[in-house]
Chains A and B, each alone.
Chain A
Amino acid sequence: MRKVAYYKGCLASLSAKELDSATQALAPKVGLELIELESVTCCGAGDIHEAEPDYYLHLNARILSYAAAEGVDTLLTVCNVCTLNLRQANFMLLGDTELRARVNENLVAVGVPAYEQDVDVRHLLWEIAEGEGYELLKGAAHKGLKGLKIAPFYGCQILRPSKIQGFEDPDRPWSLERIIQACGGEPVDYPAKIKCCGFPIIQAREETALSELIQPIEQAYEAGADAIVTPCPLCHLSLDAWQSKLKKSTGRDFNMPILHLSQLVGVAAGLTESELKFKRHVVSVKPVLEKLEA
């Protein structure tokens, strides 16, 4: 078991509790012992970075510092946007000793330990798409997905900017497809899988956002997907919860179930509803589960 610090972020703590519960249940099966960070806040979701960027840097430094204080070298995330925010702040601090010293001074002034020991921020997706995590995943996914057609949706910020994320080719990613296959599913290909779902502007510019949101859902639907899987709870929120708005504006009812990455692997690994909490989804996951039982 490899010990890693675990940063849930806002969504998995609040409206996407199912992601947290599925991740906690899945972790030991893929060789991860999660040390949940308690004294942490929101990473700012790109919004604090835009509103008060210096505060954004300090909030994220505080999260990194509490992760380092656990004596681990990896901070595990389950959200695209958390991953980018934390990695970006981390690179700013690691690459600029003066900046790091100033931020540390501020941290210490309010009673937070200085961020001394470097940690690496990694998304769960990267941990299980290769190496030991991937080997364990193949063994754990014994129940399988029985050839279900799954559309991978990466979203933006796990791929771009690649100079900060850098795990895979941002135009030809492979990690979700590899995981879907390892779980016995059939990955469905479609162009919008690396595009934006519109979430960041879904409140401020709803129409623009919905024109983005419809693309992956429509394309996955047309490619015959049984469900979409995403590594990001914000993508999940817009794809799942805002799908009903598409019906209103386009008259089309896609009824496309949206799964969190941890849930998809969790189903294949035989985790139960009490851990996966599909009941919390807006679009019913039942058709998928029925196909699996059949």
Chain B
Amino acid sequence: MKIIVCVKQVPDSAAAMSVEDGKISWGDAPLVINPWDEYAVEAALRLTEAQGGDVIALSLGDENAKEAIKHALAMGCSEAILVNDPAMAGADTQAVARVLAAAIQKIGGADIVVFGKQAIDSDVGATPSMVARLLGWPAVTLVSEIVECTQSEIKASRAMEEGRQQVAAELPVVLSIVKDYGEPRYPSFMGIRKAARASVPEWTVADTGIDLPSAVVTWPNVMAPPEREVTNEIIEGSNPEEIAAKLADKIMEEKVL
């Protein structure tokens, strides 16, 4: 079974974001593999452990994306490819999806392409569906469990607010994975050594065989949420009942309930 897992480099989840002149800044936060993508790598590895086969990590990004790729390799992916093209700076989700889909085809396709649920920096979460659309494959998103997978078909549980949904699809398929899937493994020490030594081939967009896609969505402005004004008020009373009654009135008055 051949699986491609797409990984992205993002600022550490503990990083503080600020907005300066309509541009997002993460300060000098360390860059890490998108935490959701770790679940995707885990799912891909478990699938090949059960079915046999290889996992290829694919990333679109600059030099920094190598950290994410190396993390995926250290977890156990056998190969990696970086699409690194300065012309992609400022790309939107649609442009990214076009390049990823082209790269997947250039790799020679796959049985399964796995994504994390979304990237924690831009939080769009549409890349998996867009890539599936471009490849003409079924998209099974928000997967919390892979119930069964054969060489030709996959049955998976999707985590939805209302409950779980079981879906079946024929391969090849695009999946996106949620946290409920299960804790991603740590990189192994042997994997770390292999990853540190691995040379990662770099492609430009032209190498993937398509013309440079242009963005259809731009971010003319980004605003930080207005600062919330918080005031504290301590509600006093001679007994808990009285305090609770006052609190309930207050909550109604403020239209919280």
Q: Are A and B co-members of a single complex?
A: no
